């Protein structure tokens, strides 16, 4: 950039820069231009009436902030330490299947982007290029592995062993997909992804029980995450089985319709866990303020799902890094305006129940974004 086009420091402070993407919604807009309708619907869609997905956003929008003032917030640090590593944000790129739909590099590019920035990455067992190749592509990143159980005990043990051998820092068992949901955007177009046609072993997922959690804890030392916990009762059972991380998730609204929003579930899980395990949460989180709300409510790590897909479709690996940079900028400004300089200074006293101002929608966090509706 030459001197004539150099952006003044004051403008950079206000959010302007030489980057192509200066707002998160610009990544979404570019993704929409790059994707066909089937791939687009895979990101934005949910189950049946899409009520759970909308409640994810509504639950976040029902929370307001209680800021404190006249505190020195000149030095705000958004980093945390988890899994023995320092992360620039308490953010995990959540497990999403079929990332190769959005960029040829698939999960490898996402993991590299997360590692370059300094965030955690959880690999879905149904995303290419798979367990070992993703680990090789992002050896330095903080990597976690998530499994859909589609085989017997020997298959589960094989996946855990391979995750340990490939340097993953935790192993995650997804437990909210006993039956695959009705994704009506796809049904209306009579579309079935090729990976779903090839998928086998669904009966193993339907038959999954707590005995598999016990099997993993008894045989392996890797930290265990259980994803899909949505009640205090199941959180208590997970604790009884020695689970290290409770992952509060409703699959982004893509499984059980008419479920509660993730941030409506989180308080009861925090109370039930009582500090005896760490807590992850995902479901509609796509702004820096969303991340701050979750940590203030008691979560330790926030999963970013759909937004990573938009970023990947918009600009590949570089889009993942830029998305995280923008989230970091939003988080730092939010923390400073709340009157705190570290996440450790947050608690529920920073939050207040409020009426949402926007109708909940997959894009309600991006009021400047307009997407032409598709006619099914």
> Residue 15 — left, alpha, or beta (φ > 0 → left; ψ -120 to 50 → alpha)?
left
Work out whether the CA dihedral 128, 121, 250, 324 comes out positive or negative.
Answer: negative
The count of other CB atoms within 10 Å of the CB of residue 72 is: 8
The count of other CB atoms within 10 Å of the CB of residue 95 is: 27
List all residues 6 or more positions away from 122 whose beta carbon is below 8 Å from its beta carbon.
Answer: 92, 93, 94, 95, 143, 144, 145, 146, 172, 303
- What gap in Å lies between CA 326 and CA 288, rounded to an integer? 8
Do 204 and 178 touch, CB atoms closer than 8 A? no
Estimate to the nearest angstrom the gap between the alpha carbon of 367 and the chain centroid: 21
CA 325 to each of CA 108, 114, 138, 167, 362: distance values in angstroms, whole numbers, following the listed order = 19, 11, 19, 26, 22
DSSP label of 153: H
Do 129 and 339 touch, CB atoms closer than 8 A? no
Regarding beta strands 351-353 and 171-174, do their DSSP bridges make them parallel or antiparallel, or are they unpaired?
unpaired
Do 320 and 92 touch, CB atoms closer than 8 A? no
Consecutive H or E run containing 270:
helix 262-273
What counts of helices (H) and strands (E) characterise the chain? 15, 12
Do 223 and 171 touch, CB atoms closer than 8 A? yes
When computed from its CA atoms, the radius of gyration of the chain, rounded to whole angstroms, is 20
Q: Active-site residue among 241, 251, 258, 361?
A: 251
The residues with which 86 forms a beta bridge, in sequence order, are: 81
251 in catalytic set: yes
Do 43 and 97 touch, CB atoms closer than 8 A? no
- What gap in Å lies between CA 345 and CA 208, rounded to an integer? 40
Enter the tokens of residue 115: 């590692």
Q: Active-site residue numbers?
A: 251
């Amino acid at each position: 950039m030459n001197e004539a086009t150099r952006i003044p420091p004051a403008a950079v402070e206000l959010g302007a820069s030489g980057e192509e993407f200066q707002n998160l919604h610009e990544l979404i807009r570019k993704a929409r231009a790059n994707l066909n309708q089937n791939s687009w619907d895979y990101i934005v869609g949910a189950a049946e009436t899409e009520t759970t997905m909308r409640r994810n956003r509504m639950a976040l929008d029902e929370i307001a902030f209680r800021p404190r003032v006249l505190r020195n917030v000149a030095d705000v640090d958004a980093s945390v330490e988890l899994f023995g590593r320092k992360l620039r944000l308490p953010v995990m790129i959540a497990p999403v299947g079929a990332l190769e739909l959005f960029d040829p590099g698939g999960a490898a590019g996402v993991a590299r982007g997360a590692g370059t920035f300094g965030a955690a990455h959880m690999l879905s067992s149904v995303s290419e290029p798979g367990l070992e190749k993703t680990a090789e592509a992002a050896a330095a990143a903080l990597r976690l592995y998530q499994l859909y159980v589609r085989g017997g005990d020997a298959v589960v043990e094989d996946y855990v062993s391979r995750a340990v051998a490939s340097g993953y820092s935790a192993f995650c068992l997804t437990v909210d997909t006993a039956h695959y949901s009705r994704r009506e955007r796809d049904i209306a177009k009579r579309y079935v992804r090729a990976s779903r046609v090839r998928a086998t072993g669904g009966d193993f997922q339907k038959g999954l029980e707590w005995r598999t959690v016990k099997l993993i804890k008894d045989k392996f030392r890797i930290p265990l995450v259980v994803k899909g916990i949505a009640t205090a009762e199941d959180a208590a059972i997970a604790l009884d089985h020695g689970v290290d991380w409770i992952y509060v998730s409703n699959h982004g609204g893509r499984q059980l319709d008419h479920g509660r929003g993730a941030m409506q579930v989180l308080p009861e899980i925090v109370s039930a866990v009582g500090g005896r395990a760490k807590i992850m949460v995902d479901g509609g989180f796509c702004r820096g303020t969303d991340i701050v709300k979750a940590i203030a409510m008691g979560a330790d790590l926030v999963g970013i799902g759909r937004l990573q897909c938009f970023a990947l479709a918009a600009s590949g690996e570089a889009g993942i890094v830029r998305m995280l940079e923008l989230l970091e900028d939003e988080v730092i400004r939010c923390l400073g305006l709340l009157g705190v300089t570290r996440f450790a200074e947050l608690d529920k006293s920073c939050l207040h129940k409020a009426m949402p101002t926007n109708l909940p929608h997959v894009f309600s966090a991006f009021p400047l974004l307009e997407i032409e509706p598709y006619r099914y």
